[in-house]
Structure 1
Amino acid sequence: MAVFTTSGITIPTQFIDPWLGKVANGSTVSALSGAIPMQFGPGESMTFDIGEAEYVGEGANKSGSTVTPTVKTVKPFKFQKTVRWTNEVMWADEDHQLGVVRQVLDAIQPALSRALDFGVFHGINPMDGTAVAAMAEKLSDTTNSVEVATGDKPYANLDAADALVLADGYVPRDVALDPTMAAKFTTLRGTNSEQKLYPNFTLGTAVSELDGHRASVSNTVGAVGVASTATDVLGFVGDFSGIRWGIQRNIGLKVIEYGDPDGAGDLQRNNQVAFRAEVVYGWGIADLNAFAKIVDEVE
């Protein structure tokens, strides 16, 4: 059986592979837009507009077509999570050791999954919520914006966002919602009825259906409690296929037994061992006009 060996702990591939899958399923960006293969480092994503086909009458000449390329840069961004553990786990037999590794992986995975959203949506460092200068383009930069006023029906806000995206020539097939906005849809009932208006809509990152949209729900959308400055974002509507992202470097687990890898003190002195996992994402946004944001009312 193939294994990954990392500083004293041998991890079977079946532990790593499902976890890589979880990264692709643990964020709204990855739920609504599939990953594409990427090589490490900056790259370019190109799209071409060649216009429509030409009708040619009998005996008529054929015209040439103008090709308009659009080039977007895909940049790499590294995220890491370091977890400290008592070094007694290193004394355990192999079976118990692998059980601990599973726990460590399960603890680290959600943070690295959510990091993709925080970068694409808001361009922030999830650890302290501050802006990352290298993340120069994010969905929150779109100028298509709908402000939610007190008493607004949530479907009216969604319709308004759809209209902005459609006006720019894109199809608003997807929506990522903050739980506070999503809950407004789940509580709606028909007139004189207990029937839910959106029975197929669920509160979770897994894709469900909301009013003709592919929907995913996560608090990464608004980044409440994470962003150092309130974003006021309640949702993003648009064509999420315009987000080109991928994992440029596979996730590995490194065991660190010596030194001070995270500024929390010497490992040996504290009888600890550190587990570190890293991932390098690459992403780019084809056109911000393909998206609209729904924001909370500014008081």
Structure 2
Amino acid sequence: MAIFSTAEAKVLLPRNIADGMIKETRSLSTVAKLSGREPMKFGETDHIVFNDFPKAEFVEEGADKASTSGGFGSVTAKPHKAQVTMRFNEEVQWASEDYQLNIFSELASAGQEALSRGLDLGVYHRINPLTGSVITAWDNYVGATTKRVEIATADADADVRTAAGLLINSAPSWGVNGIAIDPKFAWALANLQTKNADGSPSGSQRYPNLGLGTDITSFASIPAAQGNTVSGTPEAVDTKVRAILGDFQNGIRWGIQRELPVELIRFGDPDGQGDLKRKNQIALRLEVVYGWYVFADRFAVIEDKVA
């Protein structure tokens, strides 16, 4: 049976393409590189959080055991649906199955980058990638943190240390196990030079392992991921954020709540580009449902001064 001749409104991507697409989505997203995906059921997902970690008690032989101190609450990861709709000439329905399979591959290739960038833009900035606008109804995102460092000197590494200090010296103290870096900030770090005794630049790279600042995977022994989603560009106006530092391992709880269905649309105007029948086109719509919760106080933002 040809892929596009099914009477079903929705079909699943072939498993090998779907699995590869999810893998690529994770590899392209800075959030996914630094923060592990976890299984999630569809809908709002509750996570238990200890407000005060329980304390163990040493008990002598024959002595009474006391009630363990500590309290817990819960936070809720909410679903966020992302979609990509692309049009094709309707003649692809009559092509061979091999050619139709190639269409699915092209859809996956184009969609995986859009969906991975969408994860970053939503988690970091609550930005709608298609419009570049802020989704004001979302109040849970990394950029809501009050721990912020404004870049004031040419020593970008000093800004990283200052941001780390805001987290490490806070109460409670949060771990620093990841940093997401905008390419502009990566270049600033890579361009730093060691100094001579008189304070003048030596001409030698301060961090030679950074090369020209491309594809940075670690900095100061901290796992790093580089991408322009940190600044929100080009989908939106530059947010001026240059780096995000913090507890990526535990401070972001995210997952993919639903498989990747493809909806075949033959009629109507599903994306505002004109009637499909009139234009002799069909549309394929790819959707994924993310779920996430962000502990914003576990992150610090390094940003340029806003004019």
Counterpart of 2:274? 265
Q: By how many angstroms is 1:264 displaced?
A: 0.5
1:224-239 pair list within 5 angstroms: 224-227=233-236, 230-239=238-247
Q: Decide which moves more: 177-186 or 237-246.
A: 177-186
AA aligned opposite 1:127 = L
> 2: distance between equivalents of 1:217 and 1:10?
32
* Alpha-carbon spacing, 1:188–1:94, altered in 2? closer, same or farther (3 Å): same
AA aligned opposite 2:243 = G
AA aligned opposite 1:132 = I
> 2: distance between equivalents of 1:11 and 1:71?
35
Q: By how many angstroms is 1:56 displaced?
A: 4.8
Q: By how many angstroms is 1:100 displaced?
A: 2.1
AA aligned opposite 2:129 = P
Counterpart of 1:50? 53
Q: By how many angstroms is 1:50 displaced?
A: 2.9
* Alpha-carbon spacing, 1:10–1:247, altered in 2? closer, same or farther (3 Å): closer
1:140-289 pair list within 5 angstroms: 140-149=143-152, 151-168=153-170, 169-190=173-194, 192=202, 194=204, 197-199=207-209, 203-204=214-215, 208-227=217-236, 230-241=238-249, 242-285=251-294, 287-289=295-297
> 2: distance between equivalents of 1:235 and 1:179?
9
- CA contact under 8 A between 2:55 and 2:69: conserved in structure 1? no
Q: By how many angstroms is 1:167 displaced?
A: 1.6
Q: By how many angstroms is 1:60 displaced?
A: 6.1
* Alpha-carbon spacing, 1:199–1:183, altered in 2? closer, same or farther (3 Å): same
* Alpha-carbon spacing, 1:7–1:297, altered in 2? closer, same or farther (3 Å): farther
SS of equivalent residue, structure 1 residue 163: helix
Q: By how many angstroms is 1:223 displaced?
A: 0.3
Q: By how many angstroms is 1:134 displaced?
A: 3.6
Percent of pairs identical after alignment? 38
Q: By how many angstroms is 1:257 displaced?
A: 2.0
> 1: distance between equivalents of 2:245 and 2:142?
10
User: TM-score scaled by structure 1?
Assistant: 0.89
Count of residue pairs brought into register by the alignment:
292
Structure 1 alignment gaps of length 5 or more: none
Q: By how many angstroms is 1:162 displaced?
A: 0.3
1:124-135 pair list within 5 angstroms: 124-135=127-138
Counterpart of 2:101? 98
Q: Deviations over 1:246-279 (max 9, x none)?
A: 0111112222222211111011211212111000
AA aligned opposite 2:306 = V
- CA contact under 8 A between 1:162 and 1:238: conserved in structure 2? yes
Q: Deviations over 1:202-222 (max 9, x none)?
A: 634xx7111121100111111
> 1: distance between equivalents of 2:255 and 2:181?
22
- CA contact under 8 A between 1:74 and 1:283: conserved in structure 2? yes
Matching residue within 121, 125, 129 for 1:122: 125
Which 4+ runs in 1 deviate beyond 4 A?
A: 3-11, 55-62, 189-196
SS of equivalent residue, structure 1 residue 44: strand
* Alpha-carbon spacing, 1:17–1:5, altered in 2? closer, same or farther (3 Å): farther
Structure 2 alignment gaps of length 5 or more: 196-201
- CA contact under 8 A between 1:4 and 1:11: conserved in structure 2? no
- CA contact under 8 A between 2:131 and 2:235: conserved in structure 1? yes
- CA contact under 8 A between 1:185 and 1:198: conserved in structure 2? no
AA aligned opposite 2:222 = H
Q: By how many angstroms is 1:23 displaced?
A: 1.8
Counterpart of 1:24? 26
SS of equivalent residue, structure 1 residue 146: strand
CA RMSD of aligned residues (A): 2.5
* Alpha-carbon spacing, 1:139–1:57, altered in 2? closer, same or farther (3 Å): same
* Alpha-carbon spacing, 1:142–1:100, altered in 2? closer, same or farther (3 Å): same
Answering whether residue 297 of structure 2 is matched by residue 294 of structure 1, we say no
AA aligned opposite 2:179 = V
